[in-house]
């Protein structure tokens, strides 16, 4: 099943766009495929940058007992 695609317009630094076009040609891929890959990678990176909720809850629960240690480790 084909994925739906949507057109959008944006502006990119001309040097970045030239490098992207060169890479697309070198790899024999369409420019839109590289843009999609780059945007997907960016979204994945940002999703991983957020601490997982259960980890934060465990940290917050441990803070009353280990808060002083955390402060010393941060120095």
Alpha helices in the chain (DSSP H): 14-27, 31-49, 53-74
Q: What is the pLDDT of residue 23?
A: 97
Q: What pLDDT sits at residue 49?
A: 82
How high is the pLDDT of residue 16?
A: 96
Going by pLDDT thresholds of 50, 70 and 90, the confidence category of residue 1 is low
Residue 6: helix, strand or coil by DSSP?
coil
pLDDT tens figures, 18-70: 999 999 999 999 999 999 999 999 999 988 888 888 998 999 999 999 999 99
pTM to 2 decimal places: 0.62
């Amino acid at each position: 099943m084909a994925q739906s695609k949507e057109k959008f317009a944006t502006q990119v630094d001309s040097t970045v766009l030239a490098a992207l076009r060169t890479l697309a040609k070198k790899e024999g891929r369409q420019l839109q495929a590289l843009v999609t890959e780059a945007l997907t990678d960016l979204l994945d990176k940002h999703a991983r940058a957020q601490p997982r909720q259960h980890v934060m809850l465990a940290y917050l629960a441990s803070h009353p007992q280990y808060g002083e240690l955390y402060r010393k480790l941060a120095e």
